[in-house]
Amino acid sequence: MKLSFRGRTALILGGGSDMGLALAALLREEGVTVIPTHVSDAGREAVARRFPDLASTRLALGDHDFEALQPALDAGVDYLVDLAQGDLEGLAAAAGDEAESYLEAHVSGRLRLLRTVTRSMLPRRFGRLVFVSSTAAALPAPGQAFYCAAKRAAEGLYQSLGLELGARGVTSVSLRLGLVDAGRGKRFLDEGDRRQNLGGKVVSLEQAASTLLFLLSDQALALTCTTITMDAGLTAQKYL
């Protein structure tokens, strides 16, 4: 099946991540212009190494304005892929101020960003929002309270935006990924015998990026206001 893309420009939050870089390569093969963002120097350098012709824009969910994005929004962003996620682990009962800051950035800050981006999409009556969630939103491990809460809240925001703006051409979908052999997932799998013990329950980077590409395509636009799980069957049964 040959995919088609009505839009021409994709904004990738967390574009310096392994998944962001893999998706950017696939989108560029389809002729879609990619605008990656980064929050750290490492992310900016990762984009520069992979795509020397691309300039990465610094953006953090905790920002109170998104002026750096304005030139791109004025020119027109058709696709938003949200890979942005900070690291914070700890027990909810022992949480300090850092937990409040984390949730403010990942919930309230994400809402501010989504308002900014979707408002720029409405005049063109087209926009596609894809949020990369996690199976931890449904099955968190101890210490993942903040990560889980942020993912669940974001899924709710994306679903509501799809409901409210669908009639005006802006659709949304969330993809809950299980263990992906990239980034923090790869680091987790590399510890001890986890990779061997989990066997075929791991999603490859290529599988994840290709699925995101499909969800952005015209052929997937009917997948909206919903959350899809892609975890190679990891959460289909109780852990042994």
CATH code (residue 63): 3.40.50.720
**Which residues, 6+ apart, have CB-to-CB distance to 168 below 8 Å?**
122, 125
Closest CA to 209 of 81, 17, 19: 19
In whole angstroms, what is the distance from residue 157 CA to residue 16 CA?
24
Kindly report the pTM of this predicted structure: 0.93
Comparing 143-157, 205-219, 225-239, which segment has the lowest mean pLDDT?
225-239
In whole angstroms, what is the distance from residue 3 CA to residue 80 CA?
18
Is 57 inside a domain boundary? yes
Which residue segment(s) compose the domain that 109 sits in?
Answer: 9-230
How confident is the model over 7-31, as pLDDT tens digits? 999 999 999 999 999 999 999 999 9
Is 3 inside a domain boundary? no
Is 46 inside a domain boundary? yes
pLDDT grade for 92, boundaries at 50, 70 and 90: low
Is 183 inside a domain boundary? yes
Is 237 inside a domain boundary? no
Is 87 inside a domain boundary? yes
| Domains in the chain, number | 1
In whole angstroms, what is the distance from residue 234 CA to residue 222 CA?
26
Is 146 inside a domain boundary? yes
